[in-house]
Structure 1
Amino acid sequence: MLKYEEIIEYIKNSIKTEKLDHPKKLPSIRFIQNLFHCSAGTVLKAYTKLEQDHIIYSVPKSGYYIINDFHDKSSSKHPIIDFSAVNLNVESFPYKNFQHCLNKSIDLYKEKLFTYSDPRGLKSLITVLSKHIQSYQIFTKSDNIIITSSSQQVLNILSTMPFPNGKSNILVEQPTYYGMIKYLELNNIPVLGINRDFNGIDLDELEKLFKYGNIKFFYTIPRFHNPTGTSYSKQEKQEIIKLAAKYDVYIVEDDIAADLDMNKKNDPMFSYDTSSKVIYLKSYSKVLMPGLRVAALILPELLINKFLEYKRWTDISSPILSQGALEIYIKNGMFDAHMKHLVSLYANRVHSLKSTLLENKHPRINYNIPDSGYFGCLYINGSLKYDKVITELQHKNIKIFDTSECFLKEYKCNNYFRLTISEVNEKQIVKNIPILLEVLNKYID
């Protein structure tokens, strides 16, 4: 074994056994140099390799620190097993590449950083995106694309602004993304619900709501629905679009997990729309980092001017630095390489989740686990002592998301449990899912 490899093994073992003098900080280069009787260059080579493997990170004029410990994930003797987080794990993100793109963005767009930019977004990013999204079977003019400061901003504006159909109610799936629920409730926006379970939605009920419900738009997550993990079939998507055209209802398609779909024939609803009723929304935060705050929106022409008017007085313009970095990241092929890695990583975890559930069947616990995406979902047949479930899981260091937040008040339900795989690996899944199931089974009445 080479000297620098010995140093790497020493550091890794020290982290695992918690034998470092300063738990968050690595020994100085001089200390390791004296310990191993080697040059400073050899120590730097070892530390650089550890940094490339995302085990440590450097702070100028301070030293080297442990990533896992800093983020409070695996440093604890009893780590939290987090089945709730949707955001990308820091260890899964090639931050060095994106840091390069941020630096390049500053160089390219430094003058624009000191002025207000076009509320539509950075034109060069829009040009790149209009070509990039064609791989998702999305073909549109650049003029119909708007860059926003997150998908949440889009939902907020669309919920507030008037629509050409003159209608006022918003229809949402039950359950659905909790951020949408919260905004509608906080702003007293009129909203109706339609049940969506592991079998999808009742299209006859949807038609009645479209016909008599004064529906401005229907907010839907067709692919890897949050929180059930289900996806609409091609026939269901086409039927929903047909009903929208018939009853003059717009559809807001939140395609948050498009990048994680391994089925390249699973086209978005937008690709079937011939009546300009589908508003397409795609976020980049969940597959990159939440702090990026960049989403792409495709609007029918009738809605563009009104949306831009509302957006202009929401944030004037979306941050140029993030947009420029994303443009470079996509244009240089880094995004596609990152997604190839992430799709494989998540697919392995989802497969592990499905296999573990198959091996630990409970008669009153149903589940839906897709082939890829962020998460699967459990459904409890029967009433459940929900508070006791959460309390016992906390004692066992297992964290899950409170899926009751995904329901309107009149639809409240504690029977669903979303299981997200972005913060857990296969080993943690295999070990902790049986524990979770036993706790659930214990408190079913």
Structure 2
Amino acid sequence: MTHTQLKAVADFLGHHHHIKKARRVENNLLMLDLGGAEALYFDMTRGRATAYLAPARRPAQDFNAPFDTLLHQLLSQSRILEVSVPEGERILRITVQPRSHYKDRKVTLQLEFTGRHANAILLDEEERVVEALRHIDAAQSYRVVRPGVELAPLPPRPEKEQIPFEGSIESWLRENAQRIHQRRMSELRQQKRQQLLKKRERILQALRKLPDEATLGEEAERFREMGNLILAHLHEIRPYDRKLETVDFEGNPVTIPLPEGIAKNRFSEYYFNKARRARSKAEHVHIERKNLEEKLRFYDNILQAIEEAQDPYELEMLVPKQGRAKRKKEKLRDGELYWIEGYKVYVGRNARENQKLLELARSNDLWMHTRDIPGSHVIIRTDKQNLPESVLRSAAKLCVDFSTSQPGNYAVDYTRRKFVKIQEGSHVEYDKYKTIQVLKEGVEIRE
């Protein structure tokens, strides 16, 4: 942002007297709720830091770093004392009086829109760093940004002719919000699409590797015949032989490898067991194929939902990004694990996983399913708590998105797991349920 744009933002902030709430809603995005219909956002991403006006919204995830704790404690419910922009600098300084401290306590939030060095820093009255979005050590720069260290001034910038800002800063901030939203949605949509396509490709590879029933049947018959030939010629096999060269029952020459580490009288049993396994696999390979095809449809439905998503929060719910440690700790063998406002949400990707989740769910967990259409069962781990309405609605939306790609108005039934009775496989009867209506809209191809 330019110096004159920041001065216009300072003038806009100067007409407000209090900050209702201050918090981080994304990795580099700070929100100041000023008590109106819109909040003022500061995107402190390196190289493209900016500001915009948009409706207040929930964080995409929980942020509990020291900076987040202090930002909330010191600026939420605070009184704005002064908003300034140092001459010639791309810095916005918001000085407040925290509600929870003595009247003479002042704290400054210094927002530095300095290209790749963009930062948000909390300062006390002596210009010492209280906390910062990004810490900078002496090894990185002469200007150390660490708690308790006095913040050095920025080096002087070359004098430039400042172009006066014309027009309404509020209109510019709202238009900027639209530009940023479109760019970020495009980037995030592409990122989530790629994450999902990798999962989908793994399912496709597993499908391609599945043998067909006819091949497995022929393999079972071949192993059975090899076992019978070994039985017929067992007396000819010497202790040191590694293969049996003979003719089959139709007079054709055949060579049979003899397994190592197995007693001579168990050679035929070895091949009979292989024949039995191949025959069993031939009988059940269609079930595995069906499970994989259902998983494929599950991911296709999510891909469609990614195209329909209207905001980053919805995209993060559809394809969540978790840290390695958390992913490892919460890895789920059957189904997918999602988080909605801190609640665990388990989703079955096919009939087998739906059945497994029903078996693993606790009696007070919440079960959810889209009425009258086959699809994913959703289990919400409640720990005996009453779920917020926002969690129920978000989970119901996911339930529809995971079950179908067709637009329409869908009824999603939900009840406690103890009121769900398994009939056969993942087919159930349920009682004492409530219903949420979910409108799934269609989407045009955007890109």
With normalisation by structure 1, the TM-score equals 0.22
Instruction: Tell which has more relative contact order, 1 or 2 (C-alpha 8 A, sep 6+).
Output: 1
- Going by fraction, where is helix more abundant, 1 or 2? 1
- Going by fraction, where is strand more abundant, 1 or 2? 2
With normalisation by structure 2, the TM-score equals 0.22
